[in-house]
Structure 1
């Protein structure tokens, strides 16, 4: 049963990387879009793209936390005690990012729009870096088992963590650019489609280079994960590379729909490969999944709860994304017909 829950946790992490990662990546492109005049058009595309769904994406992160502390409490305790600094920074980044995204559209003066825009964009880079740094710290064995706290600084500012954090930012930027190519063309903004297509190609190359550097760092600092990538996780890792390369080829050929599908698979398979490579440990190489698992009754109840959540929550997510892709959702801050008084149409 612990294996089933671990697989569920890995899939939830992959979902957060695919949906939340693209959300953060859009903030990266917002950061480097340029001044108010030069960056106005790409920022409009970004706001329209993430506006209806940005709040929903963090449900996956909450799900990951709940499953981890319920199913694997010893691992959760060790991770939180050791990684409280990047976890706190990520939480603050998520809060500031959401508030700034909302306030930026509400304020009138250019000065405050710049302030909130900068807070939104910088937080969009900080959060994925912290998430990647946490993953790198866990993979390189900087989180001790037994509910003990590791070094609060070296645990997430070590070579593996830093490179993995940079990789997380690069992958998020790549995924967001691919999404934005589709969104821009969907609304027949072909100039913006070309704008983000070029950035998607560049970010794909950058992410590939950083991934290669990360492999060398893993070989030196996280040998268990590196050995797993080169053995049991090799098929999924190769498939991730092939999907990424295929997405790049389709981008070069202006096939945005197919590129988006392959980019999603490439990013999801990175998470799956990491999980398989780390197997059977939650904390390499000190705490195995079975050793960290809660009692069987707790795991069974959790699996039942997850199954109910899939039946109840997932259809709502699917509907939200379908309506968003079909441009059937009202923009934030605009009047919806359903909000008007009943006698308004009579006049």
Structure 2
């Protein structure tokens, strides 16, 4: 039963990486789009792309926390006690990001639009970095078991955490750029599609370089995970690499639809590979999945709740994404104040 719940948790993490990660990556491209005039068109595509779905995507993160807390309380306790700094930064970043994204559309002053836009973009980089750093800290064994608190600094500012944090930012930027290529073409904005296509190719190369560098770091900092990647998780690693390479080829051949599917599989493959490589540990070398599991009755109840969620909630998500892709959803919130003349004063 604990294995089944662990698989559910891994699938939820991969889903959040694919959907929520793309939202954070869109914020990265917002950050580097340039000044008000030069970056206006790319930012308009970004806002139109993530506006209807960005709040819904974080449901997957809440699901991950609830499942971990309910099914593996011992691991949850150790992770929270040790990694409370990056977890707090990520939580604050998510709140700041959402508030800034909403407020930027409602202010007229260029000064305040820049402030809110900067907060949105900066937090879109901080959050995935913290998430990646948390994964690196867990994988490298910096989180002790038994409900004890590890070092609050070294647990997430170590070589493994730093490289996985940078990889998370790069992968999120890559995935967002691939999505934005499709969205720009869908609205027949071909110049912007080319703009994001170039950035998708560039970020794919950066992500690949960081991933290769990360293997060397994991070899020394997280040997259990590295050995798992080179053995039991190797098929998933190879599949992820092939999908990533295929997406890159399709992007260079201007095949946006196929590139999007392969990019999703490549990113999901990274998460699945990590989960398989770390097996059977939740906290490598100290706490296994079976040892961390809650009582059998709790796991059964949780599994029933997950099944009901699949039947009730998932169809709503599917409908939301279908309507969004077909541009059948109304603009989010009130009229964008940015559509009116912008004054230079406060």
**C-alpha distance in 1 between matches for 2:213 and 2:28:** 21
Q: State TM-score, norm by structure 2.
A: 0.96
Could you list the runs of 4 or more consecutive aligned residues of structure 1 that deviate by over 6 angstroms after TM superposition? Answer: none
The equivalent residue for 1:210 is 210
**C-alpha distance in 2 between matches for 1:243 and 1:296:** 38
Give SS of 1:266's match.
Answer: helix
State yes or no: 1:30 paired with 2:30: yes
Matches within 5 A, 1:43-82: 43-82=43-82
Give SS of 2:260's match.
Answer: helix
- Across the two proteins, how many residue pairs are aligned to each other? 335
The equivalent residue for 1:199 is 199
Alignment deviations for residues 147-186 of structure 1 (CA, whole Å, 9 cap, x no partner): 0000000000000000100000000000000000000000
State yes or no: 1:126 paired with 2:126: yes
State yes or no: 1:288 paired with 2:288: yes
State yes or no: 1:13 paired with 2:40: no
State yes or no: 1:308 paired with 2:314: no
State yes or no: 1:327 paired with 2:334: no
State yes or no: 1:104 paired with 2:113: no
Q: State TM-score, norm by structure 1.
A: 0.96
Shift of 1:333: 3.1
The equivalent residue for 1:148 is 148
Shift of 1:332: 1.4
Matches within 5 A, 1:154-173: 154-173=154-173
State yes or no: 1:277 paired with 2:283: no
Shift of 1:334: 4.6
**C-alpha distance in 2 between matches for 1:239 and 1:312:** 31
- Across the aligned residues of Structure 1 and Structure 2, the Cα RMSD in angstroms comes to 0.5
Give SS of 1:177's match.
Answer: helix
Matches within 5 A, 1:193-272: 193-272=193-272
**C-alpha distance in 2 between matches for 1:332 and 1:317:** 17
Give SS of 1:147's match.
Answer: coil
